[in-house]
Amino acid sequence: MIGIVAANHYLQPIESDASLPSLEADLRELCREPFRRIDRFIQLALLGSARCIAGQTLRPECGIYLGSGLGPIGNNIVTQQQLIRDREIPKPFNFINTLGSSAGFYVAKNLGLSGQNLFISRRRASMEAVLNLALADLLRGVVEQALVGLVEEVALPLAVHRQRQDLPATQVLAEGSHWLLLQSGQQTARQLRLHRFDELSTLENFLFGSWMQGDCLCCASGMERSAEQRLQRQFPGCIVSAWDCAFHDSLDAAWLTEFAIGDRPGQLFVVNGNSMRGWVLFQLGA
């Protein structure tokens, strides 16, 4: 049994090229100490994780499982411009922050954690990858608590950021930092279960057997589109699509976190996969 002890997030559509919203006032309030030489990706990670664990007691050995599709893209752009355009050696903190593990380092430092600290990526499915790893460690008893976060940053200008990701010119973009605190053997209001299916029909049968009034199904943004359309026919009016709102690469994490925070009845199912590698279903319910 894996319980969701806490959940919270930051999700902000970015619709103007003027500037990105400042996070510094929130960070001053939430962080134990002011961190210097951190970039926006680290700021987003600090903000989301601190909101999530507010009021909770963490074990020092709690694992951090941070996922992202694009990683610290703003800092990577600055570093590459220093290097290629300006023909300069990158500044040390810019270079160090190109590594995804820097964000997890600052989250651990802020929360006083010394356990496993991972940075994982899987394009359009980073949530699935980090949750798989966190659940594996919780189930094996490697950790008793897992702090799971998905962080995505926007780099201005927006048109270039869309171009970089091959997104349509009309796609609204968002920044996000979505976090769950999971604990093994913990009876909580929300439980998280992982199911794997080789065949889509088997997954559908499972859903029919588990479905209750008020349940909701989310198709992850990396999911095979024909399968999503098939599920839409099977569960009309019950499906939310990651493409319908402001987008970032780990948007399925926004659905999961939002549902975990709220007190709405019913279950949330998040499905991902394709017909070759099979199907993964996260069931968030009572």
Partner 1 sequence: MAGAYIRGVGLSCALGENPEQCASAMQKMQVGPIDLQLDDFHEPLRMPYYRIPDDADLFEGSRFERILPPVARMAVERAGLSAAEICRLPLFIGSSCFSIGLSESHYAAALSAHPDTAMPMPLCGGYQLIAAIIQQALGIDGDVYTYNTACTASANAMLGALRMLKLGWYQHALVIGAELANRTTLAGFSGLQIVAQRLQPFDAARAGIVLGEGIGAVVLSAYVGSDSDLRIIGGASNCDTWGVTTANPDGNSVAAVLNQALADAHIRSDQVYGIKAHGTATPMGDTAEAIGIRRIFSKTPPVTVIKPYIGHTLGACSVNELVLFAGALERGFIPATPGFETPDAALDLNPATTHGAAPDGCYLLNHFGFGGNNVVLVLEKNAS
Q: Are 106 and 117 in contact (CB under 8 A)?
A: no
Of 58, 10, 70, 26, give the one whose Cα is nearest residue 257. Answer: 10
**Contact set for partner 1, span 81-100 (CB under 8 A):** 81, 83-85, 87-92, 95-96, 98-100
* Sequence-separated (6 or more) residues with CB below 8 Å from residue 141: 184
Strand 63-67 relative to strand 278-285, pairing: unpaired
Q: Find the binder of partner 1 among 113, 158, 220, 254 (CB under 8 A).
A: 113
Structure tokens given for 7: 């959940």
Q: How far is the CB of 274 from partner 1 (least distance, A)?
A: 8
* Residue 117 found at the interface with partner 1 (CB under 8 A): yes
* Residue 235 found at the interface with partner 1 (CB under 8 A): no
The one-character DSSP state at 203 is H
Structure tokens given for 88: 């300069």
Structure tokens given for 233: 């026919």
Alpha carbons 63 and 137: distance in angstroms, whole number: 9
Q: Find the binder of partner 1 among 172, 208, 277, 286 (CB under 8 A).
A: 277
Which run of H or of E encompasses 273?
Answer: strand 268-274
Q: Find the binder of partner 1 among 5, 6, 108, 192 (CB under 8 A).
A: 108
Choose between 46 and 216: whose C-beta lies nearer to partner 1.
46
First to last CA, the chain: 11
Q: Is 112 left (phi over 0), alpha (psi -120 to 50) or beta?
A: left
Choose between 52 and 261: whose C-beta lies nearer to partner 1.
52
Window 120-159: contact mask with partner 1 (x via CB under 8 A): xxxx-----x--xx--xx-xx-x------------x----
Give all strands (DSSP E) within 17-78, no chain letters. Answer: 63-67
Residue with tokens 């995505």: 152
* Residue 12 found at the interface with partner 1 (CB under 8 A): no
Q: How far is the CB of 90 from partner 1 (least distance, A)?
A: 5
Q: How far is the CB of 41 from partner 1 (least distance, A)?
A: 12
| Part in contact with partner 1 (CB under 8 A); list of ranges 3-11, 112-120, 209-217, 232-240 | 112-120
Query: What is the contact surface with partner 1 in residues (CB under 8 A)?
Result: 61, 64, 69-71, 73, 76-77, 79-81, 83-85, 87-92, 95-96, 98-102, 104-105, 108-109, 113-123, 129, 132-133, 136-137, 139-140, 142, 155, 160, 163-165, 196, 274, 276-278
